[in-house]
Chain A
Amino acid sequence: MAELLDLFGFLSVVLRALVLALQSLVVGGAVFAAFILPAAGEPGAGEPPPRQRAPGERAPGERAPRERGPAESAPEEPAAGGSAAARACRRLLAGSAFALAAVLAAYVAADTTLLMATSGLRLREVTGANFFLAGAAGALLALAAGLLAVLGAPRGAAAADRAGAAAATGAAPLPLPDRRGRRGALFTRRAAVAALLLAAGLVASSVATSHAAARLEGRTLPVALTALHQAATGCWIGGLPYLLLALPRTAGGAAARRIAARFSLLAQASVAVLVAAGAGLALLYVGSPQAILGTAYGAMVGAKVALLVLLLALGALNYSLVQAAGKEPAGAGAGPSPLLTRLRRFAEAEIGIGFTAVLTAASLTSQPPAADLTAGQVPLAEIAARMSPRWPRLVPPAVRDMIPPSATAAAAGGSALESFVPGQLVEPQTAGEIALSEFNHNTAGLVVLAAGLLALAARAGWRWARNWPLAFLGLAVFLFFLADADYWPIGPLGFWRGFTVSEVLQHRLVVLLIVAFAFFERRVQRGEAPSPRTALVFPFVCALGGALLLTHSHSLNNPKDELLAELSHVPIALCGVAAGWARWLELRLDGGPRRALSWIWPLCFVLVGAVLLAYRET
């Protein structure tokens, strides 16, 4: 039973993260369809009509067709050109709305099962709970939004879709029957209003299960701020993927520039609202400057601010690109401008970092606000003492200390008031376990530091250092021997028996993945990658790892030790995110800041290694 509950507890943070991410996509899609996409169909002043490109003709600045996805290379015939963008956006909007409905339903089902299993309530009694009503309402709204995206297209658009599809498959393009649907529109005017209302309803149902709704007094202000914060996140971060879809599918560079310029305005307004509402919420929930470092909640808010700074830097670059693209000569209106191509590359990293911030928000929802944790805050002096460097532990503890004691829940009778998540076992760490954990972190730090320094050396021109990914083999060897010290070859338990234990199995899978990754990335670094796309695996995994490290959340019962662990894991996660997207941009950009980026990610590796080397739990 305890294991089942544990699994539910873990699932709920994953589901919450998915809900927030998908909700942003639905809100962003509705706003994009209503306000941004129609800009493509509006006639600009003094523009030449969009010119039809011959098949195979490539616009300046466009990558070779082999590198682009099959959908991206669809022909952009003038009449249905706007509709190709609308079609792609509609698919994303409908997909994320249906996925949101499914995830919300799963969330409500998991939570209901957990509640029934732990409290003996019957289903009928659970259905009146706040989370049940809000979740069910959200699922229905998301379902409606999905159906609207499928059915709410302007009349001409369906025919345009067919014509576009026919053209894409090489059949003769059909003449468009009518233009009653505005060119480039995803929705009719009425459907757009309905989509915006559904998006607002989704935000409302999400706010109903937020910290704001659970506040004791003065709920109006936090509820309003949370709603604004989530809506602005949707408009900006949730809208970016639609921009990425729409830009290359918009016939004529002028229309693409109009879309980019209008989205730029929306993004600026959203950032202002998001930052203002976020700052207000931070004041209410974190409460004091000391709590930023002194509580896990405060530390996570700090992580979100750091991600925001990264995003604003990218946003500023994008702003200057949009401004520059607007000043391009009118004659360049025929094909996609190289500036807009670069804008799309930056938008990819912006989407990645933006959704990382959304995942971080999901783990914030599972922690008590710092302002409520008056007794559990850790004084700065104690943090400074823990963070002061010490010689790393590079020798493993004795074998008998590494083997964990049988998982008997120790007597929980602490003197303070304690709160637990169902299924959470209370086991104080033994000195041996602490020593092992420190040894694990410190040794991993040595490997990452070596990889980072070698990557820097390779950047500086030492060709042999390009083999740096092989440093990770050391990590694999180490994990294989020591991650499960109670199994062969160190412990008494047999090698094959470990395959029946999920944790051991996980560790062995990771070992295999690390080995595969080390050899794979070595090929990439030596310029032997089978295709440019495969080189993107490493930055993506790096950024994903950082994002997941920010998504996890800790238990409630020992705020002090949890926080001290959190304070070293947050910088590691942020460096992972920065390294991943710096490398991604280095690979994706044609020029611009590529040189600077190629130095940033090895430096991030060195930083991660240093933090891991200094990690300590006593």
Chain B
Amino acid sequence: MVPAPLRAGAAALLGITLLLVLGRPAAAHAILVAATPAAKSTVQGPDVAVRLRFNSRIDGARSHLSLRLPDRSVRDLALAPQGSPEVLAAQAKGLAAGPYRLRWQVLAADGHITRGEIPFQVK
């Protein structure tokens, strides 16, 4: 007969291992539904209006937009006050021609965080 503490330890080990093997990283659920500028689109500079619409309510005060410039430096974008709860908007000014990546990160009402990137071109 195996001693009880050993059995309990084996059971715990088994449970943790199963959890590690079968569990996978979680996914959050605020997903991007529509974007201006659209991914892989070309827009007219130098001022570009940014508007991202999501599938659920977004905590605008705790969400974040930034722009990776053609010289690979990153500029934070100031968010405009939220007109509707699922939309983030900002104004990117003085963009020279070249490739950009718009980086977004949002906090949904349930505490889930999602992020993504939208590549676009300014002419």
A, B: real partners: yes
For B62, what are the chain A residues with a Cβ–Cβ distance below 8 Å?
115, 119, 121, 125-126, 129
- Known pairs A367-B29, A419-B32, A420-B115; A554 contacts B24 (CB<8 A): yes
A152 CB, min distance to chain B CBs, angstroms: 31
Of A8-16, A193-201, A328-336, the one touching chain B: A8-16
- Residues A421 and B33 in contact, CB atoms below 8 Å apart: no
B119 to chain A, nearest CB (A): 5
Q: B117 is contacted by which of A412, A415, A548 (Cβ under 8 Å)? A: A412
Q: Is the Cβ of A214 less than 8 Å from the Cβ of B109?
A: yes
B116 within 8 A of A: yes
Interface string of B38-63 (1 = CB under 8 A from A): 01100000000000000111010111
A116 to chain B, nearest CB (A): 10
Q: Mark B86-123, 1 if CB is under 8 A from A, else 0.
A: 10000000000000000001011111111111110000
CB distance from B102 to the nearest CB of A (A): 11
For B1, the closest partner residue in chain A by CB is A530
Q: Who on chain A is nearest to B118 by CB?
A: A417
CB-CB < 8 A to A121: which residues of B?
Answer: 62
B27 in contact (CB, < 8 A): yes
CB contacts (< 8 Å) of A360 on chain B: these are: none
Interface size class of A (residues with CB under 8 A): 35 or more
> Is B35's beta carbon under 8 Å from chain A?
yes
Contacts of A209 in B (CB 8 A): 109-111
Q: How far is the CB of A130 from chain B (nearest CB, A)?
A: 5
Knowing A118-B105, A118-B115, A131-B110 are in contact, say whether A552-B39 is a contact too (CB < 8 A): no
- Chain B residues with Cβ under 8 A from A292's Cβ? none
Residue A525 at the B interface, CB < 8 A?
A: no
Q: How far is the CB of B86 from chain A (nearest CB, A)?
A: 5
Q: A368 CA to B54 CA in the complex, in Å?
A: 11
Offer 29 A-B interface pairs, CB within 8 angstroms, sorted by A: A12-B112, A16-B26, A107-B111, A111-B111, A114-B113, A115-B113, A119-B62, A126-B62, A129-B59, A129-B107, A216-B56, A366-B29, A368-B55, A373-B31, A412-B117, A415-B39, A418-B32, A419-B30, A419-B32, A420-B114, A421-B115, A422-B114, A513-B14, A531-B1, A541-B14, A541-B18, A545-B18, A552-B24, A555-B27
* A135 and B85 alpha carbons, distance in the complex (Å): 21
Q: Determine whether the beta carbon of B116 is less than 8 Å from that of A130.
A: no
Tally of A-B Cβ pairs under 8 angstroms: 182
B residues with a Cβ closer than 8 A to A are 1-2, 11, 13-15, 17-35, 39-40, 55-57, 59, 61-64, 85-86, 105, 107-119
Is there contact, CB below 8 Å, between A211 and B20? no
CB closest residue in chain A, given B112:
A366
Inter-chain CA distance A9–B1, complex, in Å, is 40
CB-CB contacts of A411-451 with B at 8 A, as 1s and 0s? 01111111111111000000000000000000000000000
A107, B105: Cα distance in complex, Å: 20
Q: How far is the CA of A211 from the CA of B22 in the complex (A)?
A: 25
Task: Give the distance to chain A from B91, nearest Cβ to Cβ, in Å.
Answer: 20
**Cβ contact of B61, chosen from A125, A208, A216, cutoff 8 A:** A125
- A544 contacts B15, C-beta separation under 8 Å: yes
